Amino acid sequence: MRKSRMNLLALSVACLLGVAGCENSDKRMALPDEPDYTLAETWYDNPLAQEKKAVDVFYITPTCIWDWTGQDGTTYHHMDVTDSSQRAAVDASAALAANLFSPHCNFYCPYYRQITMESWMTDPEETERRYAAAYDDIEKAFDYYMTHLNEGRPFMLAGHSQGAKTVVELLKHKLSQEQQGRMVAAYVFGFPILGEELEQYPALRTARDSVDTGVIISFNSVAFPAAASPLFAGNTVCINPLNWTTDTTYAPASRNLGSVFFNGETSDTLRQQAGARIDLAIHSLIVDGLNPEDYYIPSISTLFPKGNYHVQEINLYFLNVQKNIGQRIRSYFGSK
C-alpha cells in the first residue's frame, strides 16, 4: 500500500500538479502553435480501444504542464501539443481516464494548450486571460469530434481539474439543444460549480442519484473542512460517489468498491478504509480512514493544503464511478 501511495504521489506531482514555483506573467503572453485536430498526434492514442461502443466519452485532461522556456528564452504558460515530452506528461492522466471509461465508452481525448500550474497561482484575471486559449482549443476539438468522430452516438463529457472547468464551460456556452439531448452525463471531477452558474445556465443540471441522465456528477474531497482549496470557495455541488446521495448520509468504507492508481493497481487497503460523507457547508466530501500525511504535497500546499485529496479525486472512488458510468448509460437507453 505504501508503494502504491508513493507511485500515485510521484505521478500526481509530475503530471497533474507539477509546480516549480510561481511568478507573475508578463502581458505579452507568447503562445505555442494552435493544434490541428485533423492530425492523429493531437489526440491521445488509447491502447485500450477495442470494439466500437454505443456511447463515447470526450475527456479533457487536468493540468499536467508547468511553465517552460523556448529556445529563444521566451517563457510559455501553455502546453505545446507538438512537443512529445509534454504529450508524455499528459498521458498518465489520460491513461487513468481511459482505464475508467473504456469498458463502457469510446474514448476521445484531445491534447490542448492547457495553462500551466503556475497560471493557477497568479491573480484570477490573468488566469482567465491565459485560459482563453485553452478553452478555444477545446471548442475546436469538440467541433472536430462532433463532425468527424461522433457519428451521432450518445456521449459523455468528462474532465478533471482544469479539464473539469472546461467541461462546465462547454455546457454553459457550446452544446446545442440536440447535443444536450444526446449527452448521457457530464463527470466534473475536482472543480467548483457556483450557485450563480446554476441559476444562469439551465444546461447545468446536477445529479441527484445514480441513474439520472443529462446531468453533472461532481465532487471534491478533503479530510476535514479546513483542507478545502481556496480555489473552490463558493462551490455548491457535490454528490457522494459511494452511495450517490446529495445529503449528509455517511457511506462507510464497505461501500467503496476499490481505488485504482495511475499504474493501474487496485488497492484493497483503501477499499477497507475510505468512507465519506458530504459537508453541506463546503459542498465537499469528508473522507475518513486515510492518513493526510500520505497524500500531502508541500509544493502545492497554498492551493491544496494538507488533508486535501484533489490529486486523488478519481483514484479514490475509481471502481464506484466506473460502475456508475455503466448504470447511467443503461438508464439513458432505457429512457429512450
146-204 per-position pLDDT tens digit: 999 999 999 999 999 999 999 999 999 999 999 999 999 999 999 999 999 999 999 99
Least confident of 6-15, 30-39, 42-51, 144-153: 6-15
pLDDT of residue 207: 98
Residues 6+ apart with CB under 8 A from 189: 158, 159, 160, 161, 163, 164, 218, 219, 313, 314
pLDDT score at 301: 85
Chain centroid to CA 112:
14
How far apart, in Å, are the Cα atoms of 112 and each of 28, 42, 70, 90?
A: 20, 8, 18, 10
Sheet holding 275-279, edge to edge: 221-222, 284-288, 275-279
Mean pLDDT calculated for residue range 93-118: 96
| Phi and psi angles of residue 277, each rounded to the nearest 5 degrees, phi first | -140, 160
* Conformation bin of residue 264: beta by default, left when phi > 0, alpha when psi is -120 to 50: left
Q: Which of 76, 69, 112 is nearest to 94 (CA)?
A: 112
Contacts of 88 (CB under 8 A, 6+ apart): none
What pLDDT, in 10s, does the model give residues 268-321? 445 557 899 999 999 999 999 899 998 888 888 888 999 999 999 999 999 999
Q: What CA–CA distance (Å, rounded) separates 319 from 241?
A: 10
Q: What is the pTM of this model?
A: 0.90
Say what the pLDDT of residue 263 is: 47
Residues in a beta bridge with 160: 189
Cα 267 from Cα 203, distance rounded (Å): 36
As a whole number of angstroms, the distance between CA 94 and CA 263 comes to 12
Q: Which residues contact 80 (CB under 8 A, 6 or more apart)?
A: 32, 33, 68, 86, 113
Task: Please name which of 160, 106, 114, 155 lies closest in space to residue 314, comparing C-alpha atoms.
Answer: 160
- Nearest-angstrom CA–CA distance, 44 and 110: 6
pLDDT at 4: 37
Strand partners, 277: 286
